[in-house]
């Protein structure tokens, strides 16, 4: 049963809620997921997100114009500058869209923990993320995702991760959902395999798009006998329908509450704060939705994250930054006043008995292209390295621009040569090497062509792209190759080692050129239907994509 709490208890006595007056990232109580709510692990009180998106000059799901980013948690001085202002608007969670897993985050995470601020982090970065129009789930993505998990898993003020953000924005992009759901599965599996804490969740953040209901059901459904291995742990909703002084009906907030009333996991606004139609400009947001979001919606929604802290070209910033100086805009004050006046009703874990169950998976139809099972196979970097080492014809060229024509030629010569790299989210047809990077995939099909042409010397050249080699089977490879099969269509077990480990240490990096340049994404998507292949190869750091279609 919900019970109202007074303002001082919620906002002015945050230390009493979390159970300590001076937190560190190692002692702060974890936030756990139970049913449709978040709870503090130490005393079972409910946790409602009062969040801010915290990333400067960032373009999610990278574009050719902006693939760089600044890690917002790598500079302790900047965190020290901003945290006092973040606390003025009662912040208890930040959302960051990209961190650099090679940098140290102890200073910022310690400061955040001391201020009772938690974190939800996106796993991708602008040039290494699941692309909407040419989706893949491959070694480079897996190593990026697991690298972020490795970097942040020790901090107990990390609630979890987003495996994707607005990857499906149009009706013709729903096939991409299969690759994000596979990323959810493998990220959750990786957390378990590394014995990281069980309270770390993995979710997805969706745009407010026509397919939003199918998306929600797809990511929360549990096909077959897999349980929740492929299901999201929480659902983020980027919502901008409440503009200015709107209301519960006009904004469609009521429809969203009704839809998610029986959802099995926590739902929250992963972004909110519309700037449209304001007479006094974008920095005059009244944030009147706050009263509703933390009022009659808390039975279903767990609060939200305001977009955003830093002012940029999109005009959504709450503050202006000039070196060490922070200057709040008028909507900063509006947000503070709105949050200061609310008194949400909450429950405790002891008094909450969740009964919601996983929804049915949406069926493939004209408006939905992704089957729920099978998903793209689990990415296994060791498998890719083992498979390439065991070939008699390998790719020597590092010129990604030359790959497309070779794929085109080989797959056109005989479609069976490319069975191992097939991707089709609508039929659920995936080759055993469909999770490898393009160079490794090309090596496999080149070898298939070479063997199919009786090992003729001219069959392993392709204008200097490939060359013959002595096949070898490294330690630990034999069982993987047996599971893969000689045609490359078998199912191989998920890896158990570190996602970014080198050969011989439990999880080798792919031999792809992408593995050597983690800032470059070269996703490959092969749709195999008759002789139809779409081949996408990343060409530059700016993610210029070449497509050759047969």
How does pLDDT run across 137-185, given as a tens digit for each residue?
Answer: 999 999 999 999 999 999 999 999 999 999 999 889 999 999 999 999 9
Over range 397-423, report the average pLDDT: 85
Instruction: Please tell me the total number of residues recorded for the chain in this structure.
Output: 550
Q: Could you tell me if residue 217 is inside a domain?
A: yes
Higher pLDDT, 62 or 32: 32
When pLDDT is cut at 50, 70 and 90, the band that residue 542 belongs to is: very low
Q: Could you tell me if residue 547 is inside a domain?
A: no
**Is the same domain home to 345 and 480?**
no
- Among 454, 484, 514, which residue terminates a domain? 484
**Is the same domain home to 325 and 466?**
no
Q: Could you tell me if residue 489 is inside a domain?
A: no
**Is the same domain home to 324 and 407?**
no
Q: Given this model, what pLDDT does residue 525 score?
A: 33
When pLDDT is cut at 50, 70 and 90, the band that residue 523 belongs to is: very low
**Is the same domain home to 450 and 313?**
no
| Token code pair at residue 228 | 């929740």
Residue 503 clears pLDDT 60, i.e. is over it: no
CB distance 240 to 230 below 8 Å: no
pLDDT in tens, 439-461: 999 999 999 999 999 999 899 99
Over range 262-282, report the average pLDDT: 97
**Tokens 């405790």 map to which residue?**
348
125 as an active site residue: the answer is no
Q: How many domains does the chain have?
A: 2
**Is the same domain home to 392 and 340?**
no
Q: What is the CATH number of the domain that holds 220?
A: 3.20.20.80
**Is the same domain home to 327 and 403?**
no
Q: Could you tell me if residue 335 is inside a domain?
A: yes
- Among 484, 508, 534, which residue terminates a domain? 484
**Is the same domain home to 311 and 404?**
no
Q: Given this model, what pLDDT does residue 496 score?
A: 84
166 as an active site residue: the answer is yes
pLDDT in tens, 44-85: 999 999 999 999 987 655 444 557 899 999 999 999 999 999
Q: Could you tell me if residue 454 is inside a domain?
A: yes
Residue 519 clears pLDDT 80, i.e. is over it: no
CA angle at 176 for the pair 547 and 70, rounded to the nearest 5°: 85
| Token code pair at residue 479 | 């069982």
Q: Given this model, what pLDDT does residue 127 score?
A: 87
Q: What is the CATH number of the domain that holds 396?
A: 1.20.58.1040
Q: Given this model, what pLDDT does residue 145 score?
A: 98
CB distance 162 to 236 below 8 Å: yes
- Among 425, 452, 484, which residue terminates a domain? 484
Q: Could you tell me if residue 550 is inside a domain?
A: no
Share of the chain above pLDDT 90, in %: 76
Average confidence score pLDDT of the chain: 86
**Is the same domain home to 215 and 332?**
yes
Among residues 32, 110, 125, 166, the one annotated as catalytic is: 166
**Residues 6+ away with beta carbon under 8 Å from 227:** none
Residue 193 clears pLDDT 60, i.e. is over it: yes
Determine phi and psi for 549, rounding to 5 degrees. -120, 130
Tally of CB atoms within 10 A around 359: 18
Q: Given this model, what pLDDT does residue 442 score?
A: 93
Among residues 32, 222, 271, 289, the one annotated as catalytic is: 271
Q: Given this model, what pLDDT does residue 499 score?
A: 83
**Is the same domain home to 391 and 447?**
yes
pLDDT in tens, 457-488: 899 998 888 999 999 998 899 999 999 999 99
Tally of CB atoms within 10 A around 400: 20
Q: Which domain, by its residues, includes 416?
A: 381-484
**Is the same domain home to 116 and 241?**
yes
Q: Could you tell me if residue 376 is inside a domain?
A: no
**Is the same domain home to 399 and 341?**
no
User: Pairing mode, if any, of strands 301-306 and 49-53?
Assistant: parallel
Determine the Cα–Cα distance for residues 55 and 270; give it in Å rounded to an integer.
14
pLDDT in tens, 123-142: 999 889 999 998 999 999 99
**Is the same domain home to 308 and 444?**
no
Cα distances from 42 to residues 30, 45, 131, 349, 375, in angstroms, run: 8, 8, 39, 11, 37
Q: Given this model, what pLDDT does residue 505 score?
A: 31
Q: Could you tell me if residue 320 is inside a domain?
A: yes
């Amino acid at each position: 049963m919900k019970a109202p709490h007074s303002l001082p208890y919620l906002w002015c006595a945050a230390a009493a809620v979390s159970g300590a007056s001076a937190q560190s990232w190692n002692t702060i109580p974890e936030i756990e997921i139970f049913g449709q709510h978040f709870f503090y692990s130490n005393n079972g009180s409910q946790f409602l997100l009062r969040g801010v998106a915290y990333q400067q000059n960032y373009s999610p799901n990278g574009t050719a114009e902006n693939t760089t980013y600044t890690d917002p948690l790598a500079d302790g001085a900047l965190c020290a500058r901003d945290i006092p202002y973040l606390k003025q608007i009662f912040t208890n969670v930040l959302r960051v869209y990209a961190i650099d897993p090679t940098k140290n985050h102890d200073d910022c995470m310690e400061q955040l923990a001391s201020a009772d601020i938690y974190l939800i982090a996106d796993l991708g970065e602008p040039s290494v993320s699941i692309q909407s129009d040419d989706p893949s789930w491959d070694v480079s993505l897996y190593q990026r995702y697991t690298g972020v998990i490795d970097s942040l898993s020790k901090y107990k003020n990390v609630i979890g991760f987003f495996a994707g953000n607005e990857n499906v924005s149009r009706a013709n992009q729903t096939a991409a959902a299969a690759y994000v759901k596979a990323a959810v599965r493998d990220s959750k599996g990786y957390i378990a395999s590394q014995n990281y804490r069980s309270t770390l969740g993995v979710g997805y953040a969706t745009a407010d798009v026509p397919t939003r209901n199918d998306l929600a059901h797809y990511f929360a459904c549990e096909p077959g006998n897999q349980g929740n291995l492929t299901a999201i742990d929480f659902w983020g909703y980027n919502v901008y329908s409440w503009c200015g002084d709107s209301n519960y009906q006009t904004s469609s907030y009521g429809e969203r509450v009704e839809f998610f009333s029986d959802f099995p996991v926590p739902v929250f606004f992963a972004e909110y704060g519309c700037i449209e139609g304001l007479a006094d400009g974008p920095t005059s947001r009244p944030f009147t939705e706050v009263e509703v979001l933390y009022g009659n919606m808390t039975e279903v929604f767990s609060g939200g994250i305001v977009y955003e802290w830093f002012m940029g070209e999109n005009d959504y910033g709450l503050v202006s930054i000039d070196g060490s100086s922070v200057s709040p805009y008028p909507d900063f004050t509006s947000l503070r006043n709105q949050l200061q006046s609310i008194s949400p009703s909450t429950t405790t874990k002891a008094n909450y008995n969740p009964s919601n169950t996983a929804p049915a998976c949406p069926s493939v139809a004209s408006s939905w292209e992704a089957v729920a099972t099978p998903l793209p196979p689990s990415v296994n970097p060791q498998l890719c390295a083992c498979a390439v080492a065991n070939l008699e014809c390998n790719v020597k060229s590092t010129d990604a621009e030359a790959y497309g024509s070779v794929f085109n030629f080989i797959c056109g010569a005989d479609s069976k040569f490319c069975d191992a790299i097939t991707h089709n989210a609508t039929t659920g047809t995936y080759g055993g090497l469909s999770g490898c990077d393009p160079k490794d995939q090309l090596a496999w099909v080149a070898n298939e062509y070479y063997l199919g042409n009786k090992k003729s010397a001219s069959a392993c050249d392709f204008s200097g792209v490939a060359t013959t080699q002595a096949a070898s089977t490294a330690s630990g490879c034999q069982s993987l190759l047996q599971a893969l099969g000689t045609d490359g269509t078998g199912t191989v077990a998920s890896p158990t080692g570190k996602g970014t480990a080198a050969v011989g240490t439990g999880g080798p990096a792919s031999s792809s050129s992408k593995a050597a340049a983690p800032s470059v994404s070269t996703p490959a998507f092969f749709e195999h239907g008759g002789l139809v292949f779409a081949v996408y190869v990343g060409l530059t750091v700016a993610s210029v994509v070449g497509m050759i279609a047969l």
